[in-house]
Amino acid sequence: MILFWILCAAMVLIAVLFVALPLWRKSSSNNEVLRDVANLDILRDQASELEVDLHNGLLTQDAYDQGKNELQFRLLEEVKITEQPVAKPPRNPARVLAVVMAILIPLASVTLYLNLGDLDALSPQDMIVADAEGVVHSPVALKKLENKVKHGSQDPSDWWMLARTYTEQKRYSDASNAYARLVILVPNEAQLWANYADVYAMANGQTLQNDEVTKMISKSLQLDPNNNSALALAGSAAMGRGDYVAAMKSWQTLVDQLGPGTADAQVYIGGLKRAAELLVQQPGGKKKLAQLTAGKAAANSALAAAAITGKVSLSQALAGKVSPDDTVFILARAANGPKMPLAVLRKQVKDLPLKFTLDDSMAMQPQLKLSGFPEVVVVARISKSGSPMAQAGDMEGMTETIKPGSKGLNIVINSVMP
């Protein structure tokens, strides 16, 4: 901020000099005029003395004429004006104007900035800054954000930061109100509905057994059946109402997505075991558990049956044209159908050569899976930009049309896209 004021002061000083200095110099030229007038008065007095001396007989006519000629010569040489009578020079306010402008320019600049400038920019600590999770930690910044949304902000990011900050502060009622506005602004975002369900439950008895909460979770899963937050809430809600089958289905899907070996998955694996224990205690529970287990085994079998395996390598001709950190995408897409990948694996050049597996768990959308198409093409692409979208300069290799479940493919990245 100090640097900002120094720059402002320098700019104002330049402006003052640009305007006031010419005026000041103009007033100096007026001083020269005044000096010339004074010299003229002296010459007039000397001319008068010559006339008096001639009248009193102190000078001859020749001496008088010679003196008068000398005065006229001095007049032309020093003052350089015509023989017309010189009037008293008019009063020139240039110097006064220069002083006034030197005062008014800085004053006007500051006044204008105070009225039109961004005062918050002078205090970075008071700006609305959130962390990576969207939480605003500065009380002053939070107050500013609250005033902003109070005055009708339609920016979803403002409401998102407000909702996340209230949640972090355990102000669940306020967070619920913020999410209520946010899902109006962004109605088709699954994560927002899941977050809304969570804080609404906390603000209303800290329970998921609520019709509104159920609707919010359902809305989130409708938008994205694989949303982790919604699956976790759906499982917990089902456990709370004693629907252990529904709880196990939601949590099993979540564990599959997280990866059974991850720390987060372990929490829900424990929940799955507890749900199974409670299920077998219900009438017909053992049969339901057996059906779930059989269904899981069948799903795993189907997943394995549709999986594509193989190896990707880089040709020697292109090895010197890539960086070890360049992104490698291995993807399967329908040979005849949508261009969106059915399964995607992301690696780096330094991982090559590598063995890969593509299956339904890598689908970008639930309705677009490997097992849902009779013929596919597998592509291995090195992207300099890191974008999955093919671009000129990318390097790739691909298979011919194959069937899901093909094993032992060998893909060599050996061409550069035009």
**Domain positions in the chain:** 2-117, 139-303, 308-416
The dihedrals phi and psi of 28, each to the nearest 5 degrees, come to: -65, -35
The answer to whether 159 and 176 have CB atoms below 8 angstroms apart is no
How high is the pLDDT of residue 22? 72
The dihedrals phi and psi of 67, each to the nearest 5 degrees, come to: -65, -40
**β-strand pairing of 376-383 with 354-358:** unpaired
* pLDDT beneath 70: ranges in the chain: 1-5, 16, 19-20, 23-41, 43, 71, 75-96, 98, 113-114, 116-128, 295, 297-303, 366
How high is the pLDDT of residue 173? 95
The answer to whether 345 and 331 have CB atoms below 8 angstroms apart is yes
How high is the pLDDT of residue 328? 93
How high is the pLDDT of residue 82? 44
Domain 139-303 indexed as CATH 3.30.1300.10: no
How high is the pLDDT of residue 3? 66
d(CA 334, CA 357): 17
Q: In Å, how far from its chain's centre is CA 285? A: 53
d(CA 46, CA 73): 13
**β-strand pairing of 409-413 with 308-314:** parallel
How high is the pLDDT of residue 39? 64
How high is the pLDDT of residue 81? 47
How high is the pLDDT of residue 29? 46
